[in-house]
A and B are shown apart, each in its own frame.
Chain A
Amino acid sequence: MVAKPKVAIAWLGSCGGCDEAVVDLNEALLDVTNAVDVIFWPVALDFKYHHLEKMTDGDIVLSIINGHVRNSEQEEVAKLLRKKSKLVLSFGSCACFGGTPGMANFRTKEDIFNWVYRDAPTVVNPQGNYPQVKTKVDGKELTLPAFYEQVYALNQIIDVDYYLPGCPPPPDLIANAVNAVLQGKLPPKGSTLAPHKALCDSCKRNKTKPQKIAIKELKRIHEIEASPDICFLAQGVLCLGLATRDGCGAVCIETNIPCRGCFGPVEGVKDAGAKTIAALASMLDVHSDDEMEKAVNSIDDLAGYLYRFSLPVSTLKKRRV
């Protein structure tokens, strides 16, 4: 009997949603497991890191890695899987761009630790204990992974072969990606396994988008009673579908929530936030200096809005101190 190709599924800094998305393949998952041997999947199966270490380099056909990298354990697992795998698929927005945890780069490690272990109202820490990489307890040494200064996307740590963004990636694109590997019908290395155009291109509301969008003041989705059929931009709500890669199935839009950009920038664009600025500026129907400043200042947390999923891979990457 010919051995089935080996596949690993790993989570690094992840919420578990990406693993859930794999489970959401439902019955199709049975076909996948018939075709491959899942040799590592910490969320679902009991395998240990030392099982991986004993494998021959390149023995795993495909490693599907989700989550960002922010500590030494995540980096170690990423590098181990890279060594043991022929192909690495960066899976989900956190692995591809840093994801929402990437917004932690707007704060320093010191700020984060002070808030979490000292200043947050719910913290009780009279001895002022902070996590240490090594601690002696009853004569024994306990260890924790080192917490890094910033969040990294997967390709800032290891070489990545393919990208599948999404928070989480939708089942149809996951199935396409796995089938492409199994059938050997892969695009050039470095490709994103999703459409190249912007979400507006396939959005049902696109036909209600006016020729010229003129917004005096941007509204947030909870501030208006949004129509379920009309283009969000025409309603004065900032929707990032105009600069975000298509492929998600417009699931947020279907539930009357504007696009927040989880699929990352369209093909060829590296900095999602900076690129969106040009589109946003042209939609703001303000002319005098006062009007411009008022409109720009009325946007809460613009940087967080535009880099909700992609700060670590942007040009600016993080906050400087």
Chain B
Amino acid sequence: MSDFEPKLVCFSCRFGWGYLADQHALSAQIKNWIPIICSGKVDAIQVLDAFKHGADGVLILGCPAGECHYQDGNEESKKRVLLLQKLLDACGIEPARVRMEMSLDPEGKKIPGLVKNMTETIRKLGPVKMS
């Protein structure tokens, strides 16, 4: 398992994360980084599709509670993550493979660190068993 390099997909809300950063420089540091308009846009289907297409973990970065540009998209996303973790657990996929972080980071300085931390968590879990 030592040569296992986890594949992570990171969705982040453009309103709270990395909007002041040099997008090209930041995306060079983060593989599979998908900035989106509101974390509430991420559906459970898209997370499952990410796993189906080879992701070993999915990280969703949303705005802090009460600070969503669209009222409560971040909270909707958080609830979906908690519900989806139940489905994953019932099917033998570790809930820690989906994580949501609610914070503010306009310069995107924290994103590479968060991705790295989660990558290390996933490395211990091993590849996701989708088939």
Contacts and interface: CB of A to CB of B under 8 A. Distances in A.
Given A275-B45, A319-B92, A320-B93, A287 B65 contact: yes
B84 interface: yes
Interface in A258-317: 270-271, 273-275, 277-278, 280-282, 284, 286-289, 292-293, 296, 299, 301-304, 306-307, 315-317
A123 interface: no
A296 B86 contact: yes
B43 A303 contact: no
A120 interface: no
Interface residues on B, range: 20 to 34
Contacts, number: 81
Given A277-B83, A281-B76, A281-B79, A302 B90 contact: yes
B14 interface: no
Contact of B84 (A277, A284, A304): A277
Interface residues on A, range: 20 to 34
A106 interface: yes
Interface of A: 106, 270-271, 273-275, 277-278, 280-282, 284, 286-289, 292-293, 296, 299, 301-304, 306-307, 315-321
9 contacts: A278-B43, A281-B76, A281-B80, A292-B75, A299-B86, A302-B86, A302-B87, A318-B91, A321-B92
**Which 10 pairs of residues, A with B, have the shortest CB-CB distance?**
A303-B90, A320-B92, A281-B79, A274-B44, A316-B91, A277-B44, A315-B48, A320-B129, A302-B86, A296-B82
Given A275-B43, A316-B87, 13 more contacts: A271-B48, A274-B84, A278-B44, A278-B80, A281-B83, A284-B79, A287-B75, A302-B86, A303-B89, A306-B87, A307-B87, A320-B91, A320-B129
